[in-house]
Structure 1
Amino acid sequence: MSLTACGRDKANGGSSVLTWQEQYDLSVKYLSHGKYEEAIITFTSAIEVDPKQPDAYIGLKPRCMPAPPWN
């Protein structure tokens, strides 16, 4: 399975930009799979789509990320 934050397949009738909810949901999925860099990118994209949604900001909080191994 491949996840992408860039957009949808236009040939299948999708728009080129994901909605805030789609970006946010993808971010949560990335977090649950331990893909932290991808989660940061998609949370940031969600904020760009709708900066008034607090959940994406909350998702970016460092407590969601594991501590570095040197701590």
Structure 2
Amino acid sequence: MKEITASMAGTVLNVFVAEGDQIHSGQEVLMLESMKMEIPIESGIEGVVKEVKANIGDFVNEGDVLIVLV
């Protein structure tokens, strides 16, 4: 199973994908806010979204799994 993880701690501002979506390497999948800056999270891999583990408003830590792909 492939996973997209948080590159830093922050609050989830927006989620741009849903279960079943096909995503490509380099595609923005989620937006975090950290220290009043918006940090885009891009997928480094291709696949189909199996599960979105982060919701808008959630606080995530660096390394937390945000999205699971198949």
TM range (shorter): under 0.3
Bigger RCO of structures 1 and 2 (CA < 8 A, at least 6 apart) = 2
Q: Which has the higher strand share?
A: 2
Compute the TM-score of the two structures, normalised by the length of structure 2.
0.27
